[in-house]
Amino acid sequence: MEKIKNIFNWEPDRSLYPEKDENGNLIVDLSSQKFTKVWHGPNHPGTTGNMAIELTLSGDEVVEAKTHVGYLHRGFEKLMERRLYIQCFPTCVRMCVAEPDYNEYLLARSVEELDNLEIPETAKWLRTLVLEMARLQTLLRTVPGQAGTLSLGMGVQWGVYLRDLVLDLFEELTGGRVYHMYIIPGGVRGLLPDGFKKRMEDVLLKIEDFIVRIDNLIFKNILFKKRTIGIGHIPAEWIDKYGVVGPNARAAGFKRDVRKDYPYLVYDQLDFDIATLTDSDVYARSLIRRQDLITTIDLIRQIMAKMPNDGDIKSPTPNVLHWKIPKGEVYVRSESSRGEYGFYTVSDGSEYPRRINLRGPSYTHAVVLLEKLLINANIADVHSIMVSLQTCPPEIER
Amino acid sequence: MNDIIQDITTRFSVTDIINKRENLTFVTCRKENTISLITHLRDREKFTHLVLLTAVDWIEDNLFQLTYILNNPTKKIDIAIRTMIPRDNPVMESAHRLWEQVATYQRELKEMFGIEFPDSPRLNEPFILEGWNEIPPYRRDFDTKKYSTETYFPRIGRGTNDPEEYMKSKLYPNDPTK
């Protein structure tokens, strides 16, 4: 490991770099022909969704990077201000396509906290199951997706196939494949179908087999190691300074996980540990996500074993068309596969939310952190660094 | 948490203290004291993680509410600081020197609410919108429906319903009193 690190332990020639003016801004004169401007995205196989990075290059080295978002902006937060709370559910799930269930949970939890509503025990277990299934299907794309950025696409194909099996289970449980609207204020919409646990176990066994195969294909692959070890290093002192959360913080040695630190639903009744590393490079972040995948499989098995098979799944609520939520404000958070994911909800006492604001991890990771990390990076590593932060543009622009 | 709230009440005259949960407290602070309070909480009380910064439009009171949510990762507690600024002169001291990501939040607030943060980096660069000539769209007086009706042509074959009336007719077809 040390040997490989040393290969990349070099200092670039800074004599070609642009000078800075008195305000610290780079002086980039494109007409000097020393620099090139390249747009990485919004349509690029290496980008994670509709996002562009404006790169200024000196040779093949990045000297300046600017993130551009807005390609998916539909004003979800504004649209929700004109909708009844129950009507906000189909809107809010679209704020993160990869993991829509966290939006449902957080909106439902906000309403319940503002109106002091408790939910039945069975509903808590079912919500936890759905959130972990959401994490599972995301990680099945993300873990091999890191190698996909380096043209090692085979693992991605395997992951997409297995994700489809998880989506089948979602369809069986909720009726929807990508957007579920399964979690509603007061509880959830249904119990597990007959035989669901057996089918879930079959899928989990296939995923365990997949982890062995991606270990051989990706994590023990010397080419993958050479392209990821020492690349995109996030120093520990940046974690709070740049608002870094989730696997990106855990790869830098910070044992932070909302499920452990601020237990919600039934996470305090589940036995799991949080993995940390200290290398804080692309390889370390990939390893943390691989470990998260194993933890998620274990958590789903625990939930299946411990959850009640029947019981109430929804507390009585007022008529959702006339439900006036008491005046107040609340912040609720959960741990998505990318880190802390929260909703700040303000009610003015009417049937409509006054303001709903999403706090997504990509807001800091994909803008200020990515712009900083890409400086001095080689252009060939740009998409690898970006994917290692697991950016999700819809949650930035909302 | 109580000690911290008592301390900042004395030092910074915070008001409207609401303990939402045992680990989440909302306080209101005057505009002039807000950045000093945030700096104090970050440096002295170790609220090192800025969770979010956003705004709420209280158009009926002619005020914008800015909300800063700070987190102490060691004690695992949150303080949400509310500060009110006048809606007709929305200017707030910038906090970009405290955390790197604040400049992005402030850039978005400038674009979406029209709130000014003097000296904040790249404040006037478009963040999400491009070529926007209307009033800032997240203000309550911006009419989303009117804008989309005037800007975009209707899709042929697509009907529109009032959402509330439509849901009522679907859920309670035989009971018009609901």
Each residue's pLDDT tens digit, B142-161: 998 888 888 887 777 777 78
Each residue's pLDDT tens digit, A178-193: 999 899 999 999 999 9
The pLDDT value recorded for residue A126 is: 94
Mark yes or no for CB contact A240/B128 under 8 Å.
no
Mean model confidence pLDDT for chain A: 89
Question: Chain B contact for A20, CB < 8 A?
Answer: no
B110 vs A60 pLDDT, higher one? B110
- Look up residue A26 and give its DSSP letter: B
Residue A371 belongs to a domain: yes
For residue B49, give the nearest of A78, A240, A369 by CB distance: A240
Burial A57-91 (b: 16+ CB within 10 A, else e): bbeebbbbbebbbbbbbebbbbbbbebbbbbbbeb
Measured distance CA(A43)–CA(A47) in Å, rounded: 7
Residues in chain A with CB shorter than 8 Å from the CB of B21 are 113
Closest by CA to A166, choosing from A142, A126, A138, is A138
Residue A47 belongs to a domain: no
Residue A64 belongs to a domain: no
The pLDDT value recorded for residue A293 is: 94
pLDDT at A12 over 60: no
**Nearest residue in chain B measured CA to CA from A239:** B49
What pLDDT band is residue B175 in, cutting at 50, 70 and 90? Answer: confident
* A362 contacts A385 by C-beta, under 8 angstroms: no
Residue A368 distance to chain B (closest CA, Å): 6
Mark yes or no for CB contact A262/B23 under 8 Å.
yes
For residue B69, give the nearest of A83, A344, A346 by CB distance: A344
Give percent above pLDDT 70 in chain B: 99
Closest by CA to A83, choosing from A316, A392, A320, A315, is A320
Mark yes or no for CB contact A242/B99 under 8 Å.
yes
Measured distance CA(A102)–CA(A26) in Å, rounded: 40
* Full domain range(s) for residue A377: 76-397
Closest by CA to A40, choosing from A388, A389, A385, is A385
Let me know if domain B2-154 sits in CATH 3.30.460.80. Answer: yes
Q: Can you tell me the mean pLDDT for A141-146?
A: 89
Mark yes or no for CB contact A70/B163 under 8 Å.
no
The pLDDT value recorded for residue B48 is: 93
The pLDDT value recorded for residue B7 is: 86
pLDDT at B79 over 90: yes
A50 class by beta-carbon count within 10 Å (0-12 exposed, 13-18 middle, 19+ buried): middle
Mark yes or no for CB contact B78/A242 under 8 Å.
no
Residues in chain A with CB shorter than 8 Å from the CB of B129 are 70, 73
Residue A58: helix, strand or coil by DSSP?
strand
Task: Record the tokens describing residue A271, joined without a space.
Answer: 């036995």
Residues in chain B with CB shorter than 8 Å from the CB of A84 are 163-164
Mark yes or no for CB contact A340/B104 under 8 Å.
no
From chain A residues 343-382, the ones with a CB under 8 A of any chain B CB are 344, 346, 354-355, 357, 359, 363-364, 367-369, 372
| H or E element, residue A341 | strand A339-347
The pLDDT value recorded for residue A2 is: 66
Question: What is the CB-side half-sphere exposure of residue A133 using CA atoms within 13 A?
Answer: 31
Instruction: Look at strands B49-58 and B63-72 and give their pairing.
Output: antiparallel
Residue A21 distance to chain B (closest CA, Å): 15
Residue A17 belongs to a domain: no
CATH code where residue A226 lies: 1.10.645.10
Mark yes or no for CB contact A367/B52 under 8 Å.
no
Mark yes or no for CB contact A69/B127 under 8 Å.
yes
* A166 contacts A291 by C-beta, under 8 angstroms: no
Mark yes or no for CB contact A73/B57 under 8 Å.
no
pLDDT at A13 over 80: no
For residue A354, give the nearest of B54, B56, B137 by CB distance: B56
Task: Record the tokens describing residue A200, joined without a space.
Answer: 């879930």
Task: Record the tokens describing residue A265, joined without a space.
Answer: 């639903």
Which residue in A116, A248, A331 has the most chain B C-beta atoms within 10 A of its own C-beta, making it the best mutation to test that interface?
A331
**Global ipTM:** 0.89
Measured distance CA(A50)–CA(A263) in Å, rounded: 33
Each residue's pLDDT tens digit, B25-59: 999 999 999 999 999 999 999 999 999 999 999 99
Residue A4 belongs to a domain: no
Mark yes or no for CB contact B144/A78 under 8 Å.
yes
Residue A70 distance to chain B (closest CA, Å): 4
Each residue's pLDDT tens digit, A84-106: 999 999 998 988 888 899 999 99
Measured distance CA(A297)–CA(B167) in Å, rounded: 39
For residue A368, give the nearest of B23, B100, B129 by CB distance: B100
pLDDT at B101 over 70: yes
The pLDDT value recorded for residue B166 is: 86
Residue A18 belongs to a domain: no
Report cis status (omega within 30 of 0) of the bond before B137.
Answer: no
Measured distance CA(A152)–CA(A159) in Å, rounded: 13
Question: Chain B contact for A95, CB < 8 A?
Answer: no
CB count, 10 Å around CB of A279? 18
Domain count along chain A: 1
Mark yes or no for CB contact B67/A329 under 8 Å.
yes
Mean model confidence pLDDT for chain B: 89
A59 vs B46 pLDDT, higher one? B46
The pLDDT value recorded for residue B11 is: 85
Each residue's pLDDT tens digit, B102-124: 999 999 999 999 999 998 988 98
Residue A387 belongs to a domain: yes
Task: Record the tokens describing residue B13, joined without a space.
Answer: 């005259």
pLDDT at A30 over 70: yes
Mark yes or no for CB contact B101/A364 under 8 Å.
yes
* B81 contacts B34 by C-beta, under 8 angstroms: yes
Residues in chain B with CB shorter than 8 Å from the CB of A368 are 100-101, 103-104
